Amino acid sequence: MKFIYLLCLLFFLSENCSAQNKIKWGDWHKWGDQNDGTYQNPILPADYSDLDCIRVGNDYYAVSSTFQYSPGFVILKSKDLVNWKIISHAVKDISKISPEMNWDKMNAYGRGIWAGAIRYHNHKFWIYFGDPDHGYFMTTALKAEGPWEPVHQILDAKGWDDGCPFWDTDGQGYFIGTNFSDNYKIHLFKMTADGKTLIKDSDRVIYQSKGSEANKLFKIKDTYYHFFSEVKAGGRVVMMERAKNIYGPYEGPKQLSYAQKEYHEPNQGGIVQTQKGDWYFLTHHGSSGDWAGRVMSLLPIEWIEGWPILGKPDLDKIGSMVWSGRKPIQGQKKVIPQTSDDFSAKALAAQWEWNYQPRAEKWNLNERRGWLRLKAFKPIEKNNLLKAGNTITQRSFRSAFNEVIIKMDLRGMTKGQKSGLTHFGSPNYASISVVFDGSARRIAYDVRGNTVLGDSISSHQLWLRSTWGLDGLSQFYYSNDGVKYISFGKPYQLMWGAYRGDRIGIYTYNNEADEGYLDVDYFSYRLNKSQK
């Protein structure tokens, strides 16, 4: 009987390894919670980059970089590390970081809010992040849902990224970050008691290697762990060094995972311990080029000789990608971040992020209750969506089926105005829209400013639609009644750009004057949720 059991076990392991090896990047017919106590990576096939994660009591919190989108630095909450909901953003006004991120500049694609960290200390949540041109910033809140204090700059310098705070058991605060403009030297500072100032004469370089960044600091029992990534011959890998004193000398570094370029280098993220004592790594897949952006996965951790090995360890005690597993906490219902919106709430729903800081007086939810009103104004550059303020966006998922439909009321449009639905990621974009020349409204398809005009639109209401699948090939449609849809324009390949995956967005602007408005009744997002 024991022999048969061992044969069965070997067969199971062989089949499991075979299944893992058959994974093809982007072929995600299953993802997230599988409704049977297991999960499938990625747990979120959408752009949640530069992750960090903590647990406070029975709740898990994750944060993700947002670059030039506002509100900035998205915060998610979970009960089981698999099912996540957006609860807030840490930065209400990103123009406080740089005026280049305001609606009248829009000159920071690929810049803005880069990687950061979230921590819980002294009964408060603390968030720190970097902007590559303007240094490090921080904010605090009593609840992760907010309100968050206005951002405070702790370092005004160019060329720094991937910072993280740490408070020792004696209450002393520290901050670790990479000066990538100086050969990726990693610096450790003490902080003042309020966490708002770096003590410059405490500065110490504790590590440096090719591409060394993605810093996190932990203390487990009496040992300090510096968690980071660096670039080796095979690509970016996760590393760790440890010491009995926070300033070292540090033992290691130890490589915790392989680069796995075929899986877009899972590397940046946070390690977190569950209530039961198990450890997990919440990570993004970091390589660029994926039209969906840097998607989110969850890897188990196995501690070997005091090192947290990420994923499946091999004989060299280095981890590889794991594509499925048991949910860390059982019993939670399947949840995905919010998508659809009927605009009936008094405040804008948490899933929305504007492309740059919006012009506040040019949008509202109260002039026509149950509708989003976007008021048109002139773009910085004529007929350039990427230079048109107040485009409202959310992430595009990479799932087997995606369908977005918006219903618009066109009665407020005036001469020179253009309103529609867009996919974009600088420098590329495509849209289906309505253009009004003062005498007629016409349907239009646009790819990077190259416009094809279609039929006249006589009705006041219009439905616009986009569909796409795992290949990211989008097709636009329009409808006069919300029932019969007519395809318009060639299929458009969704694209990666400026460190971001594709965004789906709604916009209006007027090339001639600050006049006209668009009313949007709803945004409906239907997607494959990976039900078995």
Q: Is 244 exposed, middle or buried (0-12, 13-18, 19+ CB in 10 A)?
A: exposed
The gap between the terminal CA atoms of the chain, to the nearest Å, is: 33
Report if residue 8 sits inside a domain. Answer: no
pLDDT of residue 10: 43
pLDDT of residue 528: 82
Distance (Å, rounded) from C-alpha 83 to C-alpha 335? Answer: 5
3-class SS at 387? helix
Report if residue 224 sits inside a domain. Answer: yes
DSSP assignments along 234-277, one per residue: TEEEEEEEEESSTT-PPEEEEE-B---GGGT-EEEEEEEE-TTS
3-class SS at 115? coil
> Cis peptide leading into 427, omega within 30 of 0?
yes
- Pairing relationship of beta strands 124-131 and 198-208 according to DSSP bridges: unpaired
Report if residue 135 sits inside a domain. Answer: yes
- Pairing relationship of beta strands 59-64 and 72-78 according to DSSP bridges: antiparallel
Residue range 322-376, pLDDT digits in tens: 999 999 999 999 999 999 999 999 999 999 999 999 999 999 999 999 999 999 9
Q: Where are the beta strands (DSSP E) in 426-516?
A: 428-436, 441-447, 450-456, 461-468, 473-479, 486-487, 492-493, 503-510
Q: Which helix (H) or strand (E) holds 4?
A: helix 2-21
Does one domain contain both 202 and 267?
yes
pLDDT of residue 529: 62
pLDDT of residue 399: 97
Does one domain contain both 308 and 175?
yes
Report if residue 278 sits inside a domain. Answer: yes
Report if residue 105 sits inside a domain. Answer: yes
Report if residue 50 sits inside a domain. Answer: yes
| Angle formed at CA 157 by CA 153 and CA 163, multiple of 5 degrees | 65
Does one domain contain both 171 and 40?
yes
Residue range 463-472, pLDDT digits in tens: 999 999 999 9
Residue range 402-428, pLDDT digits in tens: 999 999 999 999 999 999 999 999 999
Listed in sequence order, the residues at least 6 apart from 478 whose beta carbon sits closer than 8 Å to its beta carbon are 432, 443, 462, 463, 464, 465, 485, 486, 488
Does one domain contain both 161 and 248?
yes
Does one domain contain both 138 and 45?
yes
CATH number of the domain bearing residue 440? 2.60.120.200
In this structure, are residues 384 and 426 in contact, taking their beta carbons and an 8 Å threshold?
A: no
Does one domain contain both 193 and 308?
yes
Does one domain contain both 320 and 389?
no
Distance (Å, rounded) from C-alpha 394 to C-alpha 433? Answer: 18
Contacts for 248-257: CB closer than 8 Å, 24+ residues apart: 248/206, 250/206, 250/207, 250/226, 253/207, 253/228, 254/307, 255/318, 256/307, 256/308, 256/309, 256/310, 256/318, 256/319, 257/309, 257/310, 257/311, 257/318, 257/319, 257/320
CA 500 to chain centre: 8
Q: Quickly state the pLDDT bin for 21 (edges 50, 70, 90).
A: low
Does one domain contain both 303 and 377?
no
In this structure, are residues 347 and 357 in contact, taking their beta carbons and an 8 Å threshold?
A: no
Encoding tokens for residue 166? 């740490």
pLDDT of residue 208: 98
Closest CA to 227 of 203, 258, 261, 254: 254
pLDDT of residue 13: 43
Does one domain contain both 383 and 311?
no
Distance (Å, rounded) from C-alpha 521 to C-alpha 361? Answer: 19
Give every strand in the sheet of 72-78, ordered side by side.
52-56, 59-64, 72-78, 84-91
Residue range 51-92, pLDDT digits in tens: 999 999 999 999 999 999 999 999 999 999 999 999 999 999
Q: Quickly state the pLDDT bin for 9 (edges 50, 70, 90).
A: very low
The number of helices, as runs of H, and strands, as runs of E, in the chain is: 1, 41
pLDDT at 293 over 90: yes
pLDDT at 35 over 70: yes
DSSP 500: B
Does one domain contain both 280 and 388?
no
Residue range 114-147, pLDDT digits in tens: 999 999 999 999 999 999 999 999 999 999 999 9
Report if residue 415 sits inside a domain. Answer: yes
Domain limits for position 368? 353-526
Q: What is the mean pLDDT of the chain?
A: 95
Distance (Å, rounded) from C-alpha 154 to C-alpha 151? Answer: 10
Q: Which residue, chain included where needed, has tokens 């089926």?
A: 401
Question: How long, in residues, is the chain?
Answer: 532
Distance (Å, rounded) from C-alpha 115 to C-alpha 215? Answer: 10
Encoding tokens for residue 241? 């060094």
Q: pTM of the entire structure?
A: 0.94
Count up the domains in the chain and report the number.
2
Helices (H), 407-465: none
Residue range 366-408, pLDDT digits in tens: 999 999 999 999 999 999 999 999 999 999 999 999 999 999 9
pLDDT at 532 over 90: no
Distance (Å, rounded) from C-alpha 532 to C-alpha 530? Answer: 6
Task: Answer with the one of 307, 326, 345 that is the final residue of a domain.
Answer: 326
Does one domain contain both 409 and 320?
no
Report if residue 462 sits inside a domain. Answer: yes
Q: Quickly state the pLDDT bin for 7 (edges 50, 70, 90).
A: very low
Does one domain contain both 359 and 411?
yes
Closest CA to 138 of 124, 126, 120, 122: 126
CATH number of the domain bearing residue 274? 2.115.10.20
Task: Answer with the one of 291, 308, 326 that is the final residue of a domain.
Answer: 326
Q: Which amino acid is at 221?
A: K
CA 341 to chain centre: 19
